[in-house]
Structure 1
Amino acid sequence: MNRNAYFDNAKLFLIFLVVFGHLIQPFTDGSHGMNTMYLWIYTFHMPAFIFLAGFFAKGSGNWKYIMNLAKKLLVPYLIFQLLYTGYYFFIGKEGWESGIFYPQWSLWFLFSLFSWHILLIAFKKIPAAAGIITAIAIGLIAGYFGDIGHTFSLSRTLVFFPFFVMGYWMTKEQVMVLKRKGFRIAAVAVLVGVAAAIYIAPEFNSGWLLASKSYGDLGLPEFGGLARLLVYATSIAMSFSALALIPQAHSKLSKLGARTLYVYLLHGFFIQLFRATNLFEVNNFMDVIGLGVIAASIVLLLSSRPIQGLSQPIIEAKASIIREAFGHRGRKSRSEY
């Protein structure tokens, strides 16, 4: 099946924002501008990513399907949980002694993605509108329970699930409606308007966007549901606005959109090393541009064919790229005689 360049472009753009967002996070405390950029990115980059994951979750829910999901998501999760635990200990990072069910840093996404697929077995039997509303209601209610947090990635699983359900029910034709001129003009207005609102608004706790804390921890034990509903509305508008501006044309970089899982799992080794060594400083706008270039370079490196070939055995539990490379080299050598 031919890949759609638009969706590959979207995934490539979003994984760049994941890396860039993680790269600039340490500099948000000392700069209002950096904090605005960080919060702006986080209003949509993971919701949009999760929306696309739901869009491609069209498979069945039989036992074979579930076992394939476990092989694809849970096995890499366990492997990288151990790898990151050892790596954090090596670089002297605090909190390295995390339990197996307390995902290290960004690994929550793998655990949640598996859970979303399992939840979808039941939710796809519910009419689209009712399913989306139910998922939103669950996400709103979850914040009132302090015990729902990082363990098993439960908070993020429940809070971000509505975006996965929305993606599942959207068709390609419906997504492409976003490319109409009127929607693209509105998208620019939304993206700029939210950036301005974040910049001029009172201090905003990033925990509302990370979705890993209860309303009590976020300082709104009574009215947290209303606040999260506003966050949902903002994230939906921002996600659709970002997707409206993604180019449809195929480019040399489009194919990298198929390798975002490699970037997601591997970029933490760079980010955590940078943070542990305080390697970078941000003193002016050119420093921010420099971080953007570094983030893009990390994406290009980790989505390259050699890195994909070397890490494929632990990420996909196969070595087809290495076999293909050595097979091709063997055939070439024999042809020389």
Structure 2
Amino acid sequence: MSQHAVTALARGRPAPPSPAPSQQRDAFFDNAKYVAIVLVAVGHAWEPLRDGSRAVSAAYMLVYAFHMPAFIIISGYFSRGFDGRPERLKRLVTGLIVPYVGFETAYTLFTRWTDQEPDRPISLLDPLYLTWFLAALFLWRLTTPLWQRVRLPLPLALGVAMLATLSPTIGNDLDLQRALQFLPYFVLGLSLRPEHFRLVRRRAVRIAAVPAFAGAFAVAYWAVPRMTGGWFYHRDSAQELGAPPWYGVVMTPVLFVCSLALVACFLSWVPGRRMWCTVLGTGTLYGYLLHGFVAQGAKYGGWYDPAWIHRPPGAIVVTLVAGAVVTLLCTPPVRRALRWVVEPQMRWLFRREEAAPDRERRAARA
């Protein structure tokens, strides 16, 4: 018992309730986010190597089948508490809208500088490169209270995603096509509970994940010359991918099931104890938003021009460098240096909220 409580009891007053213990972060989720962001960076680093290697293309397709779904499911899981309260809305502004504006502008200027699109205007409605995720997460979180109150939210979200593949006229505003097609993964994350993650971390699942990933790689290797990887980007309608409209209705649930199985296998391998990389999992947004400048700069700087880069040793070096770069970008020193743009406080922007007793007293006087 605390000294304050003992003193209260000695004076004949009931002891005040003990403060609730602070909630500690679950190392499992931080580890999972770190590994997922490394896969995101590695996938972008592999893009220039795909034309010369069927194996790299297969690995690229396999990674894209589950790395963003895993990231979005975890994002949905941690969005369960969003209820539209003032503090939540402030965090929505400072954690998503402000970084979106800043990095959308920065990526547009960087794209102009590298002569990829020298005349591209700065448009906050047309997300460039990596910024689509911030726009999508903003929309998903705003609709969280709705998904938590409807019946059968996951089938409804799948229906929305299937309808999106039928609509090539949705346009590029806020990358809405991609937000709608990835929506089921976010809604699934909202529906999950801690016991669901414990199920996929069992030893039997870890063992089954080995042949599952091997089989998935074999299927991807077979599919490389027969299927476009655009289905895994979820940013185009079926017609834009050169397929009949009904393909999207079929492919959406099929890809969802396949991606979900791979996500389960991926999570089964994620360690649950604190490791050297656990602290890096708290800074994955920094790694996500910053590594794009390195990936785009590498193409502009001719880093992929040497012939040896397109051979197996080169692919290994590219993979290791990409992993090292995104790891560095998730470290605490980088976070401290760039917190003003990725996680700004911006207290000056918001009105100070009155405490509940103060509001009641003012209402009584009125």
Structure 2 contact 126–172 (Cα < 8 Å) conserved: yes
C-alpha separation in 1, matches of 2:63 and 2:232:
10
Matched, 1:125 2:179: no
In structure 1, give the amino acid aligned to 2:340: P
Matched, 1:69 2:69: no
Structure 2 contact 41–326 (Cα < 8 Å) conserved: yes
1:109 is matched with which residue?
133
Matched, 1:311 2:334: no
In structure 1, the gaps of 5 or more residues are 320-337
**Which secondary structure state, in structure 2, belongs to the residue aligned with residue 43 of structure 1?**
helix
1:180-232 C-alpha deviation (Å, 9 max, x unpaired): 12212222222111110111234221110001101101122233211222111
1:300-324 C-alpha deviation (Å, 9 max, x unpaired): 22112221111110111149xxxxx
1:37 is matched with which residue?
59
The Cα RMSD (Å) is 1.5
Q: Measure how far apart 1:260 and its partner are.
A: 0.1
Decide whether aligned partners of structure 1 residues 318 and 119 sit closer, same or farther in structure 2, where only a CA change above 3 A counts.
closer
Structure 2 contact 38–327 (Cα < 8 Å) conserved: no
2:328 pairs, out of 280, 287, 301, with 301
Matched, 1:292 2:319: yes
Aligned counterparts, 1:1-337, within 5 A: 1-64=23-86, 65-94=88-117, 96-97=120-121, 99-127=123-151, 130-201=152-223, 202-224=225-247, 225-280=249-304, 281=306, 282-318=309-345
Q: What is the total number of aligned residue pairs between the two structures?
A: 317
Q: Measure how far apart 1:33 and its partner are.
A: 1.0
Q: Measure how far apart 1:19 and its partner are.
A: 0.5
Moved more, 102-111 or 232-241: 232-241
C-alpha separation in 1, matches of 2:138 and 2:310:
41
C-alpha separation in 1, matches of 2:176 and 2:228:
20
Structure 1 contact 98–104 (Cα < 8 Å) conserved: no
Moved more, 6-15 or 282-291: 282-291
Percent identity, aligned pairs only? 31
Moved more, 254-263 or 185-194: 185-194
Moved more, 298-307 or 6-15: 298-307
C-alpha separation in 1, matches of 2:156 and 2:345:
38
In structure 1, give the amino acid aligned to 2:324: S
C-alpha separation in 2, matches of 1:222 and 1:164:
24
In structure 2, the gaps of 5 or more residues are 1-22, 347-366
Q: Measure how far apart 1:63 and its partner are.
A: 4.5
Decide whether aligned partners of structure 1 residues 232 and 98 sit closer, same or farther in structure 2, where only a CA change above 3 A counts.
farther
Structure 2 contact 286–335 (Cα < 8 Å) conserved: yes
In structure 1, give the amino acid aligned to 2:45: L
Structure 1 contact 144–221 (Cα < 8 Å) conserved: no
Q: Report the TM-score when normalising by structure 1.
A: 0.90
Decide whether aligned partners of structure 1 residues 149 and 192 sit closer, same or farther in structure 2, where only a CA change above 3 A counts.
farther
Q: Report the TM-score when normalising by structure 2.
A: 0.83
Larger-gyration structure (1/2) = 2
**Which secondary structure state, in structure 1, belongs to the residue aligned with residue 341 of structure 2?**
helix
Structure 1 contact 149–213 (Cα < 8 Å) conserved: no
Structure 1 contact 143–215 (Cα < 8 Å) conserved: yes
In structure 2, give the amino acid aligned to 1:304: T
